[in-house]
Structure 1
Amino acid sequence: MSLLHLAVSLPFLGALLIPLIHYYNKRIHPGYFALLVPVAAAVLLLMSGQVSQSVKWMPRIGLNLDFRMDGISLLFCLLITVIGALVVFYSIHYLSSREQLGHFYTYLLLFMGAMLGVVLSDNVLSLYLFWELTSISSFLLIAFWHHKEKSLQGALKSMLITVFGGLMLLGGLLTLVSIAHTFSIREMVMQADVLQQSPLFTTAMVFILLAAFTKSAQFPFHIWLPDAMEAPTPVSAYLHSATMVKAGVYLIARFTPLFALSAQWIYIVTFIGAITLFWASFNAVKQQDLKGVLAYSTISQLGLMMTLLGVGGLGVYYNNQPVFYAAIAACVFHIFNHASFKGALFMVVGIIDHETGTRDLKKLSGLLQLMPVTFTAAIIGALSMAGVPPFNGFLSKEMFLTSMFDSKSGLFHGPSLVLLLSLVIIGSLLTFIYSVKLLKDLFFGGPPSVDKHVHEAPLLLLLSPLLMVTVVVFTGLFPNILTPMIDSAGQAILNKHVAPLHISHWHGVNPALVTTLLIFAAGTALIFTYQQWAPIYSVQRPNWTFNYVYEKLLAAAESISYRLNNKVITAGIRSHLLLVFSALIVMTVVLLLQAPFNFGSWHLSEVRSFELILVVLILIATFMVIVAKSRLFSIIMLSAIGYAVGLFFVFFNAPDLALTQLTIETISTALFLMCFYHLPKLSRYEETMPFKLTNAVIAVGVGAVVTVIALMAYGHRFSPSITEYYIKHVYDLAHGKNMVNVILVDFRGFDTLFESTVLGIAGIGIYTLIKLRDSKEVNHEQTKK
């Protein structure tokens, strides 16, 4: 096994072993065992280098574990493993020992392995497999506190929206496969010019965009992320700041060289990102829950990354990457920066919730003196998010603004440029407001209104966020230490060689600097006058929100499902058969009308008189079953039909089939007589049943359809009959003399095995029901006594 495959396998192996270790060893916290997994995976990934490695899995359907490590994959792998290690260490001291820790670390490692698979997969089928696994594992993590109704609702919402995106991803990837005739993303990118000429290019593009937008909580699919904040804080710090929500960003980055040849791709990615940045920032300002502020801030930052990828796609569109490379570099840089400062902020919020017992900003204030170390981590993370120097967030924000102003030399000009700049500048202003306002409301003012005695958190709980804000400061002061990684990732995204990047705090007086100064001035004024303009948020009514639309759609879907279930599923076997047989008739008739057909050539033997007599007997017996007034008479008529069929086998020189048929018919008749004796009487045998025209039409239609299909199949034989093979080899291969038995037991042994298994399961189910009924009757009798 290669190093890449081993690194991806480690989290899944840990997910299997850690619950067992925790079950048999309660003295050592399972988090310490889980901590070894991301550390070991990070070492293996760094040792592997930028390579492509493949393991055959299901080659016949094209599903192989083809992993490729390049610049963008390496960046995400380091985020997944290194921040994963910090989150695991943080969770050890955050979660109570009374929690289901074995389950927690199982879900967390499952998610870690799935994310590694997503960013390393070059095979589109394995990419989809890991993509859906991230949705499933994140659902389990969000619903970890399943005793809380909000946790279950948040998990359900995230599952519905992201799995919808997963279905879109599958459609987009399979569409690309049908055009490119390859499962490799790298080979698809190499055929970008050819793929663009396909009429299915736009369809694949729309599907991929929907998948990315749902996963990265882009407008209007952003509504799942705030509700997902009901998960434990370590989950929020890991999934919703550093990894899962950036999977959509990764998908857009990976397919930029392919789809950025289209102007529609650039416009959609850019403006959806800009709208998301503006709308989420606007909503973040009014939030009163600490996690709510961070949730909407995460959405806004993801919108910023999408906007950068859209503008950076101009480098592909114009085949002149140096002009727009700054946008791609800014996106890569901000992915790293956001993971560092937002992960720290989530952990800080968890510490505050842990020590004060609340996340309500109305109750929290004046924590500066009570929690000075926590304040230090919070102010570094928040100011970096606000884009204040000298932290790393300032540098990527300046690169972002510069790229937006430079977009005028591309597709954006006139009204589109004005709209884009308006959205990103107002969004950046609101980002500054909610970041600084969070610090002001949380750490300044009077003492907090909480029942707990507030004090600083233990050092071990503070260690992870302090390490992350140290990275924020260090990479802010020395940003060029990251330029090799940024350049490598940028080259992987554009699929072209780019000039080396140089990052500095001072770029001279330019539009980006002037805009930043105006944002600082206007933002500070708006923060201190918040009460005067806050009523603007009351304009939006509760039934004008996307959450309201989601809830109404979900309620309507549930209502329709219940009604459909009551009318179809629980309506009885007649309704089921009616639907199945009606579909058979309609599909067959439509097919026969659309395509010319004939009954082919028949080779019929002469019909003998005794065969006609048997046919008449079977028809008479069948009619008598329908009109019979007693079960005994119905059983006799059914037996007559079975024995008549057995006689047909005798006349057609198939004594083994005849023996089997007669034996089974005898056993079936005996069993029927034994069972029906104990069944209650049915109204059918006590009163006249009304004639049902629907039943008659369906019965005649099915008979006609099956007859037509059988005649057409008989008249069109495209290969010789298998009969000769059985006749030739029944003795030498199976060593049997009864051909029917040999076919059932040897040649089609698996069919027989599965049929027997089904019968066995049915028997166990019937036995269980009988025993349950007996136990209820016994309990009832005891209660009466």
Structure 2
Amino acid sequence: MLHGVILLPFVAAAIVPLFYKLFRRIHTGWFVLPVPLLAFVYFILSMPTIREGEAIQSTVSWIPSLGVDITAYLDGLGLLFSLLITGIGTLVVIYSIYYLSKEKEAIHRFYMYLLLFMGAMLGVVLSDNLIVLYGFWELTSLSSFLLIAFWYNRDHSRYGALKSMLITVFGGFAMLTGFILLYTMTGTFSIREIIDLAPTLPGQDMFVPAMILVLLGAFTKSAQFPFHIWLPDAMEAPTPVSAYLHSATMVKAGLYVVARFSAIFAGDALWFWIVSLTGLVTLLWGSYTAVRHTDLKAILAYSTISQLGLIMCLFGLGSASFYTGGADIALYTAAIMTAVFHLINHATFKGALFMVVGIVDHETGTRDIRKLGGLMAFMPVTFTFALIGTLSMAGLPPFNGFLSKEMFFTALLSVAEMDFFSVQSWSILFPVVAWVASVFTFIYSLIILLKTFTGRFPKEELGEPPHEASLGLLIPPGILALLVIVFGLFPNLLTHSLIEPAMQAILPTLDNVEAKHISMWHGFVPELWMTIGVAVAGILLYLTLKRWQRLYSYFPGSLSFSRVYDFLLKGSQRFSRIITDTYMTGSLRHYMIYIFVFLVLVGGYFLTRINPFERHGEVVFAEVSIYEVILTIVLLIAAIAVPLAKSRMAAIVLVGAVGYMVTLFFIIFRAPDLALTQMIVETVSVALFLLCFYHLPKLQKEKSSRGMRIFKLIVSGSVGLLVTLIALAVSNHQMFDSISNYFVEESYRSAGGKNIVNVILVDFRGFDTFLEIMVLGAASLAIYALIKVRDRTPHERKEER
């Protein structure tokens, strides 16, 4: 059943174009909607099984000789991500039905890409095999590239799509290398089997490289500093894509990998520091940078980067659970619980906000906060959803973001109690940086809410006031806003049903992993005073925003990692152009020289390595008849005469003579079928060459230096010598047992034919022959088409187009 759920989006993606063509009056989204909805219902029904500590598993054998099986494994962590993928996917499909016009947009392509992405994400979070996980991982990069570039006629869309794919695919290749190192150390591609062997891995030479490579993949996908630069440019995608990929699913794939592989690497101090500090830096940089932007989606993009850094930092802090091995374990598992809880909360309030921004853009035609204002009076429902989402993101009660932010502060304050990894000397850094980042989070939350919905409506900028969005656009963000409130007021609805099973899946080697009770009020604890300080400082800084915002012109100023990316990309293009122009001269002679020099070097090296001329016994040569001697002499004379020919016609005739001499050799060696084939090929080739070369100008004597002529002579002589040595080596050296005996024995018994050559071509290599015929058929059709096109006048060809 699990495989069916993963396969369902792919099957639907294949059918979408057909449905779009047959039912043009119906929006294709209505056909797509049941796919995520059915998958979501299936995962909801699986929750009781997972809550009992059991896992659902299904295996399909794929490449057993390499240990690569398509094993789908659903545990608490996989269930959490699957519910996010399918649940928010359902809302995004509903939203896109009303957001994208079926008359103006190629919606069949949109839904096909969206389903491909959905299936790929399900494959990532449900795969137990490393190679299968990697395959789905790269498919998410490819499908997201297609979604970001959906409006491919826009330069920014193409730029953002290319940027996201280059960075995430680079991380994917790094992660694949890490997976291979893990396989080398453990001998298995199964994640659960590797987790069982995890205690034996630290100390091995490949352990740290494997860790860093896996983290590279996770950091690039989850937009961690400094790989975060692709996410803001990806906002050129349609808003449903941003709400789905860049708030709830794709960017959280890296978090999934960190959570899943914590059981393998988290006992190491290097993992703790890399994950924690990278998350902390990303949290601060994302929130700080968000305040400088004026585009609503850009603000939300950097907000997403910041929130992803927050969750990543929590996973890093929670990795201390594996080091302590039971001592004060609740102190560190609380960080894992907070990460899981905030992962859910972020998907709800950020998904709602992206949809709200999409509504604002849809109704006003702009996302620039400098051109917006006063929309609260005209779009009260949208404003309500924005109010809920921004206050939750800012960490204010009674919304779910307040709860997870308080728990985040608790986890950071607990760092001071760690007495390992040399943490105590740096313990003050964590809560201070987090508090500063939270202040900037509060500021950009106020910017989104107040500059868009309050103040004076700029009629001179936007014209007539907008109206409230349609019900179809309001339902998806309304559901997410409702969940923000429900999970804020009743957070323990998720504690034992979803959060605790996810924690147990992240910490499979630890016993008694339990989620603590979540409550809104803990008394006047330091976390509460930190929240009050965030609100006070955030309001003051927002009110004085114009006075200190010039800070951004100094830091970061013109400095940007996007500039580094652009420099490297353009530099690599220039370097590639220089290298390509060096050898792509347009001369066929030069290309042949490159090929022949490479052949001589590689072939010569191979011959020296295997030493094929070392005799292992007496070599018996067959007798040479007078006919063979005569044919050989004639063949050599014809071959030598080819480069000395004064005209193309003479050269073609001499080449044909060489081919016909080979035909006579086949006759002498009693291979009539090969002789017939060779004769037909030579005849057709000579005829075609004569027809083609007849219309070319006469041969001109090549103007080249004496040194170049000598070099060409050496190359040609080397090729001839190499081929001669290979021919001699073949008769004297065998690296493998000959397959000829098998054909001799089985030709008549298995295929019923006495002509061994025919049996090989028709039976043993029937598919090869079939494909060769297809190639010849395709070439014949192409030639026929070219002839027909040439016969038509330009006017007739234009009319056909």
TM-score (norm 1): 0.93
Query: Do the aligned partners of residues 365 and 658 (structure 1) sit closer, same or farther apart at CA in structure 2, a change above 3 Å counting?
Result: closer
Query: Do the aligned partners of residues 616 and 417 (structure 1) sit closer, same or farther apart at CA in structure 2, a change above 3 Å counting?
Result: farther
Query: Are residues 1:65 and 2:70 paired?
Result: yes
Look up the match of 1:486: 499
Deviations 1:600-652 (A, max 9, x none): 34332355565444433333222111111123322332233233334444554
Look up the match of 2:325: 319
- Please say which of residues 231-240 and 563-572 is displaced more in the overlay: 563-572
- Judge conservation of contact 1:54–1:65 (CA < 8 Å) in 2: yes
- Judge conservation of contact 1:272–1:307 (CA < 8 Å) in 2: yes
Q: Give, as a single letter, the amino acid of the residue that structure 2 aligns with 1:97.
A: K
Query: Do the aligned partners of residues 109 and 688 (structure 1) sit closer, same or farther apart at CA in structure 2, a change above 3 Å counting?
Result: closer
Listed as ranges, the matches of 1:553-702 within 5 Å are 553-569=568-584, 571-591=586-606, 598-601=613-616, 602-607=619-624, 611-652=628-669, 654=671, 657-658=674-675, 660-662=677-679, 664-677=681-694, 679-684=695-700, 692-702=709-719
Identity %: 49
- Please say which of residues 430-439 and 606-615 is displaced more in the overlay: 606-615
Distance (whole Å) between structure 1 residues aligned to residue 657 and residue 474 of structure 2: 84
The partner residue of 1:274 within 280, 286, 289 is 280
- Please say which of residues 124-133 and 416-425 is displaced more in the overlay: 416-425
The partner residue of 1:387 within 395, 400, 417 is 395
Distance (whole Å) between structure 2 residues aligned to residue 778 and residue 626 of structure 1: 45
Deviations 1:215-274 (A, max 9, x none): 111111111111111111111111111111101111111101101122111111111111
Distance (whole Å) between structure 1 residues aligned to residue 478 and residue 737 of structure 2: 76
- Judge conservation of contact 2:220–2:227 (CA < 8 Å) in 1: yes
Look up the match of 1:551: 566
Query: Do the aligned partners of residues 684 and 494 (structure 1) sit closer, same or farther apart at CA in structure 2, a change above 3 Å counting?
Result: same
Look up the match of 1:349: 357
Query: Are residues 1:537 and 2:552 paired?
Result: yes
Q: Which structure 2 segments of 5+ residues have no match? A: 50-54
Query: Do the aligned partners of residues 747 and 5 (structure 1) sit closer, same or farther apart at CA in structure 2, a change above 3 Å counting?
Result: closer
Query: Do the aligned partners of residues 639 and 358 (structure 1) sit closer, same or farther apart at CA in structure 2, a change above 3 Å counting?
Result: closer
Query: Are residues 1:252 and 2:258 paired?
Result: yes
Query: Are residues 1:748 and 2:765 paired?
Result: yes
Look up the match of 1:472: 484
- Judge conservation of contact 2:235–2:242 (CA < 8 Å) in 1: yes
Give the 3-state SS of the residue equivalent to 1:692 in structure 2. Answer: helix
Query: Do the aligned partners of residues 119 and 707 (structure 1) sit closer, same or farther apart at CA in structure 2, a change above 3 Å counting?
Result: same
Look up the match of 2:52: none
Deviations 1:582-611 (A, max 9, x none): 233333444566676643343323555654
Distance (whole Å) between structure 1 residues aligned to residue 769 and residue 592 of structure 2: 25
Look up the match of 2:97: 92
Look up the match of 1:295: 301
Q: CA deviation at 1:351?
A: 1.3
- Judge conservation of contact 1:629–1:684 (CA < 8 Å) in 2: no
Deviations 1:173-198 (A, max 9, x none): 22222222212111111111223343
- Judge conservation of contact 2:12–2:115 (CA < 8 Å) in 1: yes
Query: Are residues 1:210 and 2:216 paired?
Result: yes
Query: Do the aligned partners of residues 132 and 570 (structure 1) sit closer, same or farther apart at CA in structure 2, a change above 3 Å counting?
Result: farther
Look up the match of 1:7: 5
Distance (whole Å) between structure 1 residues aligned to residue 671 and residue 17 of structure 2: 60
Look up the match of 1:504: 519
Give the 3-state SS of the residue equivalent to 1:64 in structure 2. Answer: strand
Give the 3-state SS of the residue equivalent to 1:680 in structure 2. Answer: coil
Look up the match of 1:445: 455
Query: Do the aligned partners of residues 389 and 5 (structure 1) sit closer, same or farther apart at CA in structure 2, a change above 3 Å counting?
Result: same
Query: Do the aligned partners of residues 652 and 167 (structure 1) sit closer, same or farther apart at CA in structure 2, a change above 3 Å counting?
Result: same
Look up the match of 2:25: 27
Q: Give, as a single letter, the amino acid of the residue that structure 2 aligns with 1:481.
A: L
- Judge conservation of contact 1:629–1:686 (CA < 8 Å) in 2: no
Query: Do the aligned partners of residues 761 and 576 (structure 1) sit closer, same or farther apart at CA in structure 2, a change above 3 Å counting?
Result: farther
Distance (whole Å) between structure 1 residues aligned to residue 690 and residue 371 of structure 2: 77
Give the 3-state SS of the residue equivalent to 2:462 in structure 1. Answer: coil
- Judge conservation of contact 1:388–1:394 (CA < 8 Å) in 2: yes
The partner residue of 1:181 within 182, 187, 196 is 187
- Judge conservation of contact 2:349–2:389 (CA < 8 Å) in 1: yes
Distance (whole Å) between structure 1 residues aligned to residue 146 and residue 243 of structure 2: 16
- Judge conservation of contact 2:337–2:515 (CA < 8 Å) in 1: no
Q: CA deviation at 1:354?
A: 1.7
Distance (whole Å) between structure 2 residues aligned to residue 33 and residue 658 of structure 1: 60
- Judge conservation of contact 2:388–2:481 (CA < 8 Å) in 1: yes
Distance (whole Å) between structure 2 residues aligned to residue 700 and residue 575 of structure 1: 16
Q: CA deviation at 1:199?
A: 1.6
Q: CA deviation at 1:388?
A: 1.1
- Judge conservation of contact 2:352–2:477 (CA < 8 Å) in 1: yes
Look up the match of 2:473: 461
Give the 3-state SS of the residue equivalent to 1:67 in structure 2. Answer: strand
Query: Are residues 1:405 and 2:413 paired?
Result: yes
Q: CA deviation at 1:579?
A: 2.8
Distance (whole Å) between structure 1 residues aligned to residue 159 and residue 270 of structure 2: 35
Distance (whole Å) between structure 1 residues aligned to residue 8 and residue 741 of structure 2: 53
Look up the match of 2:38: 40
Deviations 1:763-784 (A, max 9, x none): 33334344444446787999xx
What is the aligned-residue RMSD (CA, Å)?
2.7
Query: Are residues 1:361 and 2:366 paired?
Result: no
Query: Do the aligned partners of residues 667 and 500 (structure 1) sit closer, same or farther apart at CA in structure 2, a change above 3 Å counting?
Result: closer
Query: Do the aligned partners of residues 662 and 233 (structure 1) sit closer, same or farther apart at CA in structure 2, a change above 3 Å counting?
Result: closer
Listed as ranges, the matches of 1:181-200 within 5 Å are 181-200=187-206
The partner residue of 1:262 within 250, 262, 268 is 268
- Judge conservation of contact 1:377–1:469 (CA < 8 Å) in 2: yes
Look up the match of 1:83: 88
- Judge conservation of contact 1:588–1:705 (CA < 8 Å) in 2: yes
Q: Give, as a single letter, the amino acid of the residue that structure 1 aligns with 2:481.
A: V
- Judge conservation of contact 1:599–1:711 (CA < 8 Å) in 2: no
Give the 3-state SS of the residue equivalent to 1:199 in structure 2. Answer: coil
Q: Give, as a single letter, the amino acid of the residue that structure 1 aligns with 2:287.
A: S
Deviations 1:464-483 (A, max 9, x none): 21221111111111111111
Distance (whole Å) between structure 2 residues aligned to residue 164 and residue 781 of structure 1: 44
Q: CA deviation at 1:668?
A: 4.1
- Please say which of residues 23-32 and 207-216 is displaced more in the overlay: 23-32
Look up the match of 2:163: 157
Q: CA deviation at 1:675?
A: 4.4
- Please say which of residues 18-27 and 651-660 is displaced more in the overlay: 651-660
- Judge conservation of contact 2:349–2:392 (CA < 8 Å) in 1: yes
- Please say which of residues 659-668 and 124-133 is displaced more in the overlay: 659-668
Query: Do the aligned partners of residues 15 and 724 (structure 1) sit closer, same or farther apart at CA in structure 2, a change above 3 Å counting?
Result: closer
Q: CA deviation at 1:357?
A: 1.7
- Judge conservation of contact 1:285–1:433 (CA < 8 Å) in 2: yes
Q: Give, as a single letter, the amino acid of the residue that structure 1 aligns with 2:785.
A: T
Look up the match of 1:17: 15
Q: Give, as a single letter, the amino acid of the residue that structure 2 aligns with 1:269.
A: V
Give the 3-state SS of the residue equivalent to 2:549 in structure 1. Answer: helix
Distance (whole Å) between structure 2 residues aligned to residue 16 and residue 366 of structure 1: 45
Query: Do the aligned partners of residues 187 and 641 (structure 1) sit closer, same or farther apart at CA in structure 2, a change above 3 Å counting?
Result: same
Equivalent residue pairs, number: 779
Query: Do the aligned partners of residues 55 and 726 (structure 1) sit closer, same or farther apart at CA in structure 2, a change above 3 Å counting?
Result: closer
Distance (whole Å) between structure 2 residues aligned to residue 350 and residue 647 of structure 1: 77
Distance (whole Å) between structure 2 residues aligned to residue 499 and residue 771 of structure 1: 76
Query: Do the aligned partners of residues 720 and 175 (structure 1) sit closer, same or farther apart at CA in structure 2, a change above 3 Å counting?
Result: closer
Q: Which structure 1 segments of 5+ residues have no match? A: none
Distance (whole Å) between structure 2 residues aligned to residue 119 and residue 686 of structure 1: 63
Distance (whole Å) between structure 2 residues aligned to residue 15 and residue 396 of structure 1: 37
Distance (whole Å) between structure 2 residues aligned to residue 217 and residue 738 of structure 1: 64
